[in-house]
């Protein structure tokens, strides 16, 4: 099957210009990144999935090559704001219903979207998702030693320190990409360079940090865990994710009404990059009808 090459586009929704990559044809499949991420975190998946779907991969507001609104975090970077961006994005393309795969902050935004607009979401796949049932475990010892960055991101000088030089940005991003992966030597220098370039765009560090600022002020799971997400959902949870451990999957039934959980042995936080062939197969299998 001949495929068009992935192409880069821009569109403006809710007053924000979003960059996105698109490839394939058929039913729309959105891939939503988290932090530290942007469209490129799916570069091992887009081509394979495009053989089955119209794959659409945006940089969300505040990230990489999209606009970074200079708004207070509680006004411009909450889960509700990102959910409205997703809705406006699919409205622009007159898409009645979409399939979405996401993780990390993307999973938070999509859970909000699923609660607000369940009729617009056909199926949902999440990787190691943050969800209300994790509760205070984020900052309970000893795990708090892993979540120090969430508090660091609250500081106004965080983006100045991390963005003080390309080397500083590289060291910071490389730390998380490595620490949260099962294989600590997974990422190539070329891949790291792509991340550094994306997060060296003016305002990109601040945009990502603003998501943490909004979250810790109540802008993530702002509607709590109710109503439940009713969309058919497959959750893949890696046993090698050090930041969102598999044990935290114990309360999923309180958030998702119609879900299945699959354990991914030795899968880390970036399983789409760590085991792309398996993850692509999981996505294709689950999203096929």
What is the arrangement of strands in the sheet containing 54-58, beginning at the earlier edge strand?
7-13, 16-24, 54-58, 28-32, 98-103, 121-127, 233-238, 259-264
- Quote the pLDDT of residue 5: 77
Q: Is residue 116 part of a domain?
A: yes
Query: Is the model's pLDDT at 246 over the cut of 90?
Result: yes
Write out pLDDT tens, residues 67-82. Answer: 999 999 999 999 999 9
Write out pLDDT tens, residues 38-49. Answer: 999 999 999 999
33 is catalytic: no
Q: Is residue 179 part of a domain?
A: yes
- Quote the pLDDT of residue 1: 42
122 is catalytic: no
- Quote the pLDDT of residue 155: 96
CA 255 – CA 187 distance, rounded (Å): 33
Query: Is the model's pLDDT at 224 over the cut of 70?
Result: no
Confidence of residue 249 (pLDDT cuts 50, 70, 90): very high
Look at the chain and report how many structural domains it folds into. Answer: 1
Write out pLDDT tens, residues 126-152. Answer: 999 999 999 899 999 999 999 999 999
- Pairing relationship of beta strands 259-264 and 121-127 according to DSSP bridges: unpaired
The catalytic position among 53, 63, 195, 212 is 212
Q: Is residue 2 part of a domain?
A: no
Q: Is residue 275 part of a domain?
A: yes
Confidence of residue 226 (pLDDT cuts 50, 70, 90): low
Q: Is residue 1 part of a domain?
A: no
Range of the domain at 193: 7-287
The catalytic position among 104, 131, 195, 199 is 104
Q: What long-range pairs does 68-72 form, CB within 8 A, spacing at least 24?
A: 68/201, 68/202, 68/203, 68/204, 68/206, 68/207, 69/15, 69/16, 70/203
Write out pLDDT tens, residues 155-208. Answer: 999 999 999 999 999 999 999 999 999 999 999 999 999 999 999 999 999 999
Q: The domain that contains 136 carries what CATH number? A: 3.40.50.1820
128 is catalytic: no
């Amino acid at each position: 099957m001949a495929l068009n090459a992935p192409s880069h586009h821009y569109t403006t929704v809710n007053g924000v210009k979003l960059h996105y990559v698109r490839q394939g044809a058929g039913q729309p499949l959105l891939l939503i990144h988290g932090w530290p991420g942007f469209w490129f975190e799916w570069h091992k998946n887009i081509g394979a999935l495009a053989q089955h779907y119209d794959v659409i991969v945006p940089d969300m507001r505040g990230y990489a090559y999209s606009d970074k609104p200079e708004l207070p975090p509680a006004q411009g970077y909450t889960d509700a704001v990102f959910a409205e961006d997703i809705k406006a994005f699919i409205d622009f393309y007159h898409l009645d219903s979409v399939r979405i795969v996401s993780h990390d902050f993307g999973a938070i935004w999509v859970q909000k979207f699923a609660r607000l607009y369940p009729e617009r979401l056909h199926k949902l796949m999440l990787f190691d998702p943050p969800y209300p049932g994790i509760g205070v475990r984020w900052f309970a010892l000893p795990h708090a030693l892993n979540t120090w960055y969430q508090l660091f991101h609250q500081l106004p000088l965080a983006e100045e320190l991390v963005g003080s030089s390309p080397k500083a940005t590289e060291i910071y991003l490389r730390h998380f990409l490595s620490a949260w992966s099962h294989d600590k030597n997974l990422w190539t220098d070329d891949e790291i360079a792509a991340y550094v370039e994306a997060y060296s765009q003016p305002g990109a560090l601040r945009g990502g940090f603003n998501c943490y600022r909004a979250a810790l002020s109540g802008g993530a799971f702002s509607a709590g865990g109710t109503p439940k997400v009713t969309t058919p959902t497959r959750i893949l949870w890696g046993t090698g994710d050090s930041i969102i451990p598999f044990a935290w999957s114990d309360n999923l039934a309180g958030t998702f009404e119609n879900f299945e959980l699959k354990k991914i042995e030795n899968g880390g936080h970036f399983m789409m990059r760590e085991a792309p062939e398996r993850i692509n197969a999981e996505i294709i299998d689950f999203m096929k009808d």
